[in-house]
Structure 1
């Protein structure tokens, strides 16, 4: 497989970081590329502030006291996707880095946790002095166990994003910033109960840490509210990936409504919720007249034909607070007694038409 420019840049930066100073001709030989290519790469990296270039040589950039307050820092960010949920996390991280005078370098894992470590090493080679990491776990417990502890061994400060570590594991000792999805689920159930509905059903995926957190939050909320589970959680799948599985989920919800077992449901996520509402309408079930529905994530919920009430995790704030925490941690690098933090941010409920309540006025 042909090496990409980004991969070659990572190797070049790793060589300079290891040596401190190197000639461009030497880098070309070590990288196995032409002097012209090496020179072009050096110029590009120097323009980004990742290298210092003087008279045919390059060196690792020096940072003085200003770097300790954030100015001139290079921060790494690894997320499983740059779209949907994590687009807002990235935006918040970028805004906070810019305010601190730091540069943010991004890598995407595409939910391949087995590649997370190599991608973080690429961030370090690119000059990252601290990293923000949302591992590409697919929600399976074995992912968290098999692809996590290495983060605690990194030579630079790390902050875990939107992920919770196994209690007592090395990863549990890291700083982390995450949405409190259990609180979000509790908000949704309380709202539906306040509208006079019996115990709401949960329709949820099993393909991400958020999905499993929503499921766990549902069980916890039932206990908090003194409710019994009306029936097991309905497994949801993307309609385009598994049409038959999607249809089974819709039929199960349709049956629950038709039999009088349920008049309200929480659906993770809002893309699935929109498609479920459309299919239910074809089967004669109307939202909110026959079924009050709340979606989880609030990425596109407001764009449905019947705008969906939705739980909105504070995604942008997660990125912002995590970046601010990492900058602070780098400033405290010499303080061995600086306390680590587990910061939970509370989602909020955006009330629209799909639950049958008066929508929240726009601000």
Structure 2
């Protein structure tokens, strides 16, 4: 895959930060680019105040390593690594940006595109760009990624807050500050609501391709236990319709058969997009939502826009970003003040999702399109 200019700039900044001073010709050689490209990159970064340039050499600005670094007159610079800047994480990023702006800080964003093997390099790029602390939502898709690409986070030289990711108890990451949505609570809200409507024990239709999906699956087992229920049928594995049409159709058919054979009259579906597509396909097969099947989506990104507006569990995404940024800024303020004595205890903050009732669960008084 061809390296982007932003990725090359990150590598260039990291080299200069490591060496303190470097010649442009040396940087070109280390980066594997032409001298013209290296010179152009240096000019661009110097123009943004990220490097000092004098007589064919560049150096790391001394002011960037001072307490409260960044450009003169500016507040602290904080970095945010997210696996995506769209769908779920768009609101997380927005919340962090709003909190940073209110505090007079500058937020710098890097996106990993769910490539956990690149998380470390991208985070180092944030540090090279002047970030004095970082919010990190690693691009993990499952536990194996967390084990293979996780422990380095605990060794970062700046304050770090883990974002929408949980660590293995007792692992180095478990000692970091973190802010997460309590997806187990969100699943419990959905199941309680469907049961209160007189529906049979709800089925779960969910993916396996993200920490949120896995947390929803774990939350389903926990909610059944808390409610004294047994699993009516195994969890139905869902996949994106556009990526795996056959796998998606298998999931729809499994839910269809469960409804038609009798044991299923309610379902929780992760995520919104899958829930919308499943509802449409079920209608083609003669299963009506909410008449035959009360359905709740998980995420509430686009659930209200479905033809039958979907009741949905809404994780507090924007608040997660806001609280995480505020916590990070608090840690930076503690460091800038040079506080001595006992350090503030690390925090694991869990925020509770809400249930937004719409037409798809058949609840009395539910209003189509209610946000």
Question: 1:222-256 deviations in whole A, cap 9, x for unaligned?
Answer: 11111111111111111122222211111111111
Count of equivalent residues: 361
Q: Which residue of structure 2 aligns with residue 294 of structure 1?
A: 296
Q: Which residue of structure 1 aligns with residue 141 of structure 2?
A: 138
**SS of 2:63 mapped into structure 1:** coil
Question: 1:268-312 deviations in whole A, cap 9, x for unaligned?
Answer: 001000010011101110000111000000111111100000001
Deviation at 1:359, TM superposition (A): 2.5
What TM-score do you get using the length of structure 2 for normalisation?
A: 0.89
Q: Which residue of structure 2 aligns with residue 8 of structure 1?
A: 8
* Aligned CA distance change for structure 1 residues 135 and 42 (closer, same or farther; 3 Å): same
Deviation at 1:15, TM superposition (A): 3.6
Q: Which residue of structure 2 aligns with residue 96 of structure 1?
A: 99
Please list every run of 5 or more consecutive structure 1 residues that lacks an aligned counterpart in the other structure: none
For 1:54 and 1:98, how far apart are their aligned partners in 2? 33
Question: 1:168-216 deviations in whole A, cap 9, x for unaligned?
Answer: 1001110101100001001111111111112111111111110110011
For 2:238 and 2:294, how far apart are their aligned partners in 1? 18
* Aligned CA distance change for structure 1 residues 355 and 105 (closer, same or farther; 3 Å): same
Question: 1:16-68 deviations in whole A, cap 9, x for unaligned?
Answer: 32344567677667667677655543443344343356787654251666559
Q: Which residue of structure 2 aligns with residue 44 of structure 1?
A: 44
Is 1:125 aligned to 2:120, yes or no?
Answer: no
Q: Which residue of structure 2 aligns with residue 60 of structure 1?
A: 61
Is 1:219 aligned to 2:215, yes or no?
Answer: no
The 8 Å contact of residues 13 and 125 in structure 1, kept in 2 or not, is answered as yes
What TM-score do you get using the length of structure 1 for normalisation?
A: 0.91
The equivalent position to 2:177 in structure 1, one of 175, 182, 189, is 175
For 1:144 and 1:30, how far apart are their aligned partners in 2? 31
The equivalent position to 1:355 in structure 2, one of 350, 358, 361, is 361
The 8 Å contact of residues 53 and 59 in structure 1, kept in 2 or not, is answered as no
Q: Which residue of structure 2 aligns with residue 148 of structure 1?
A: 150
* Aligned CA distance change for structure 1 residues 145 and 58 (closer, same or farther; 3 Å): closer
Deviation at 1:8, TM superposition (A): 3.1
How much is the aligned-residue C-alpha RMSD, in angstroms?
2.5
Please list every run of 5 or more consecutive structure 2 residues that lacks an aligned counterpart in the other structure: none
Q: Which residue of structure 2 aligns with residue 74 of structure 1?
A: 77
